[in-house]
A and B are shown apart, each in its own frame.
Chain A
Amino acid sequence: MIARALPSQQFWRLTIAGTFTFLAIWSVAALSGLTSRAFLPAPWDVVVRFIELLTQPFAGYVLHEHLLSSLHRFAMGFGLAVLIGIPLGLLMAWFKWIDRIVTPAFEAIRFVAPIAWVPFAALWFGTGIGGPILIIFMGAFPPVLINTYRGAKQVDRKYIEAAQMLGASSWRSMTEVLLPAAVPSIVAGLRVSAGLGWQSLVGAELIVASSGVGYLMVKGQASVSTATVMCGMLAIGIVGLLIDVALRRLHAAIEQRRGT
């Protein structure tokens, strides 16, 4: 009654029918003349606009320059979250007193939506690069920290005891026992954190930035060019997907190495 797969021919027919229906409704709505084409562009208008954006600068730069500038910010914020999150997670798993101090503060800060840091980002950094980085960091940091901590806490006690019996220092226990054991959990956290970081970046660029895909969309919005806004959404979606695929590959590769 359920769970039975469709014959692949029928599956494809329905998939194509679904896509076609969606595009047809959209095109009819766009061409009906009820709204202007700038307000609701037809699907092919978006494609044409996308190619245009790749060759003609809009809001100061062409599309891939905006993307590069977004990716640069993302890399800094995400990198910072990884550089602080992983060591802190390990320290919290190893030293109880650090855990006791950090956890309540962390729990309190975690509930502040990353986007709510925008006013301080503007106040502290103006329109400089620091603002978006702060917001991305706030989005990307919690999953890294939580997953590192949980991964390190799940390490079998006997490995830790064995390491200590052999006279390993705290530093060596953390880097050579806890860290390798926590790697799968950390990588799973990185995927979540990259997704949240990328999303926070878009929010940050909508408000505090003068380049980047988010900024491009704001400018498109200001000039009531729906096609430009949609191109921005498309670009954000594609890059977000690529980042996720890359991290999923990394995860699979690590799982495979550990399996053998």
Chain B
Amino acid sequence: MDTTTAQSPQAASTRRTGWSLSRRLGTAGVTLVVVVALWHVLTAVTGFISPARFATPAEVWGALQQIAGDGYSNGRLHQHVLRSVLLVTMGFTFAASVGVVLGLAMGASRRVEAFVNPIFLVLRPIPPLAWIPLAIVWLGLGDAAKMMVIFVSAFVPSVINSYTGVRQIDKPLFEAAAMLDVTGWRYWREVLIPGALPSIFTGLRLSLQASWTTLVAAELVGAITGLGQILNQAAQDIYPAMILVGMISVAICGWAMTAALAWIERRAMPWRTLQ
């Protein structure tokens, strides 16, 4: 009985969102066709936008085939993509695991908070991109420097949001836990982490976006392969079509990683989708 009543509004809502989703996709498709047609007319047909400054759709298609087939700037497209995505995934996972634990500890203990907070007050306002020169001075242009910038940009948001997550847990929950004598590992697993989870995921999303942007910037400054390196090489070769291919790849990868994280978020917090 309970399941059916819970299910029917949800089924209705999926049907509704499914309907509007297909309509949205339709509108988006039409817009895409219109944009590409307009783009073609402005660049290739009328020459309103000079071909030296912006590429035509056909040129972009050609550049895409070139990079996917023969390769460009030391690698084929999937090699560049894999390298960038792998670096971000590794750096992000490492930074987020350390950051979330530290953030939860800061939230759970006033002592840890008082001890660590002054360092965060200094680190927090420094934008992730500002760490790039320091990383290059210390570690050169290799992967180590990139891991360092990814780590820094992912670390700070994960700590801060995990910390605020714990602080936002309802007080009665702590009192209930104290009354039931829930301590140690169970206290973390059943009170702190689930309570802070929504805020933790907000932090992870910000961390992921920051580390992706920072990696692209770091690769723009110097790298052998990677998406930022495509952009860099294409800018030096004055090759607008390849610049666009690079930008589109950056956008698609960023979107795909955010979507993957959102999927994990839904799996990790099944109780939220029921609302």
Residues on A lying within 8 angstroms of B by beta carbon are: 1-6, 10-12, 14-15, 17-19, 21-22, 39-40, 100-101, 104-105, 108, 111-120, 122-124, 198-200, 202-203, 206-207, 214, 217-218, 220-221, 224, 226, 229-230, 232-234, 236-238, 240-241, 244
What is the total of A-B residue contacts with beta carbons within 8 Å? 161
A15 touches B125 (CB 8 A): no
Given A113-B250, A118-B235, A207-B220: A217 in contact with B115 (beta carbons within 8 A): no
A207 touches B221 (CB 8 A): yes
Interface of B is mostly: helix
Complex CA gap A244/B125 in Å reads 9
Complex CA gap A103/B119 in Å reads 41
A6 touches B125 (CB 8 A): no
B251 touches A123 (CB 8 A): no
21 contacts between A and B (CB under 8 A): A1-B174, A1-B177, A2-B166, A4-B110, A15-B117, A19-B118, A22-B118, A101-B31, A105-B31, A112-B247, A112-B248, A112-B251, A112-B254, A113-B212, A115-B217, A116-B250, A206-B217, A207-B217, A218-B133, A229-B137, A237-B127
Decide if B99 is an interface residue (CB 8 Å cutoff). Answer: no
Chain A residues near B122 (CB-CB < 8 A): 237
Chain B interface bracket (under 10, 10 to 19, 20 to 34, 35 or more): 35 or more
Complex CA gap A202/B130 in Å reads 6
Point out the residue from B125, B213, B246 that lies within 8 Å of A237, measured CB to CB: B125
B254 touches A226 (CB 8 A): no
Point out the residue from B114, B116, B231 that lies within 8 Å of A6, measured CB to CB: B114
Mark B178-196 against chain A: 1 for CB-CB distance below 8 A, else 0: 1000000000000000000
Mark B24-67 against chain A: 1 for CB-CB distance below 8 A, else 0: 00011001100100000000000000000100000000000000
CB nearest neighbor in A for B237 = A119
Measured CB to CB, the closest approach of chain B to A178, in angstroms, equals: 23
Interface of A is mostly: helix
B235 touches A123 (CB 8 A): yes
CB nearest neighbor in A for B249 = A116
Decide if B91 is an interface residue (CB 8 Å cutoff). Answer: no
Decide if B19 is an interface residue (CB 8 Å cutoff). Answer: no
Complex CA gap A6/B110 in Å reads 7
B178 touches A221 (CB 8 A): no
Decide if B171 is an interface residue (CB 8 Å cutoff). Answer: yes
Complex CA gap A200/B247 in Å reads 16
Q: A40-B138, A207-B221 are in contact. List 18 more A-B contacts (CB 8 A).
A: A3-B174, A6-B111, A17-B115, A19-B119, A100-B31, A105-B31, A111-B252, A113-B216, A113-B250, A113-B251, A115-B213, A116-B250, A119-B234, A203-B132, A206-B217, A233-B130, A233-B131, A240-B127
